[in-house]
């Protein structure tokens, strides 16, 4: 059985061509070569047991009986992968992301500004709360009275 899930990978382009360049094939990454896995597994029983152990399907003792050296190698690799499993996102990253996403109010203002031209000014002024307009008017009226009395 050939590995078909790699068909979309650029590295596998041209693998079905009848004339394959041996030198090019030799340069390709080891893991990228087509290998009939079931046949290999049958011929390499210890490797299968190691996979089963790594997948949690059999005990370490069983795996050691099959290939102790491989168990030691994978325990070492596992110690490193487990170390990586504890890595966390740098603390500043969440703040950076939040700073980079637009504020809803800013976004709305920007959208209004770009959507219209001069009419926008009038529109946004008329959108001011009525109480604020009244207070502003009253304030200006009071200032006018004070200035009038001073003159």
Partner 1 sequence: MTEEEPTPADVDSDQDVISRILAGERDAFAMLIGRYSDPLYRHALGMTGSPDVAEDILQTSFIKAYHHLGEVRGRFDAWLFRIVANGCKDWLKNIRRTHLSYDEDDQPSTFASPDEDLDRTELRQDLDSALAQLAPSLREAFIMKHVEGRSYEEMADLLATTVGALKMRVHRAREALQTLLEEKYD
Binding mask 76-115 for partner 1 (x = CB under 8 A): xxx-xx-xxx-xxxx--xx-xxx-xx-xx-----------
User: What is the x/- site pattern for partner 1, positions 5-44, by CB under 8 A?
Assistant: xx--xxx-----------------xxxx--x-x-------
Query: Which is nearer to partner 1, 6 or 123 (by Cβ)?
Result: 6
In order of 16, 112, 127, 144, the CA distances from 107 in angstroms are 52, 9, 17, 39
- Toward partner 1, which CB reaches closer, 114 or 117? 114
By the rule CB under 8 A, 131 interacts with partner 1: no
Let me know: does 105 contact 112? Beta carbons within 8 Å.
no
Distance of CA 80 to the CA centre of its chain: 23
Residue 124 to residue 109: CA distance in whole angstroms: 10
- Which of the stretches 14-22, 48-56, 116-124, 138-146 binds partner 1 when contact is defined by CB under 8 A? 48-56
Sign of CA dihedral 123, 125, 128, 131: negative
Q: In terms of CB distance, is 47 or 58 closer to partner 1?
A: 47
Calculate Rg over the CA atoms of the chain: 36
Residue 77 CA to its chain's centroid (Å): 25
| Cβ-contact 58, 52 below 8 angstroms | yes
Count of residues near partner 1 by CB under 8 A: 42
Binding site for partner 1 (CB under 8 A): 3, 5-6, 9-11, 29-32, 35, 37, 47, 50-51, 54-55, 69-70, 73-74, 76-78, 80-81, 83-85, 87-90, 93-94, 96-98, 100-101, 103-104
């Amino acid at each position: 059985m050939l590995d078909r899930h790699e068909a979309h990978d650029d590295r596998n382009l041209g693998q079905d061509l009848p004339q394959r360049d041996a030198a090019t094939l030799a340069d390709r990454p080891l893991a990228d070569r087509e290998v009939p896995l079931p046949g290999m597994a049958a011929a390499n029983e210890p490797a299968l047991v190691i996979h089963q152990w790594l997948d949690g399907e059999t005990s370490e003792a069983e795996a050691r009986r099959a290939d102790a050296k491989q168990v030691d190698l994978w325990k070492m690799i596992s110690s490193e992968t487990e170390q990586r499993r504890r890595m966390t996102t740098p603390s500043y990253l969440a703040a950076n992301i939040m700073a980079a996403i637009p504020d809803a109010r800013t976004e709305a203002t920007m959208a209004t500004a770009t959507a219209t031209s001069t009419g926008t000014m009038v529109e946004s002024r008329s959108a001011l709360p009525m109480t604020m307009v009244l207070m502003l008017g009253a304030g200006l009226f009071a200032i006018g009275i004070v200035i009038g009395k001073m003159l």
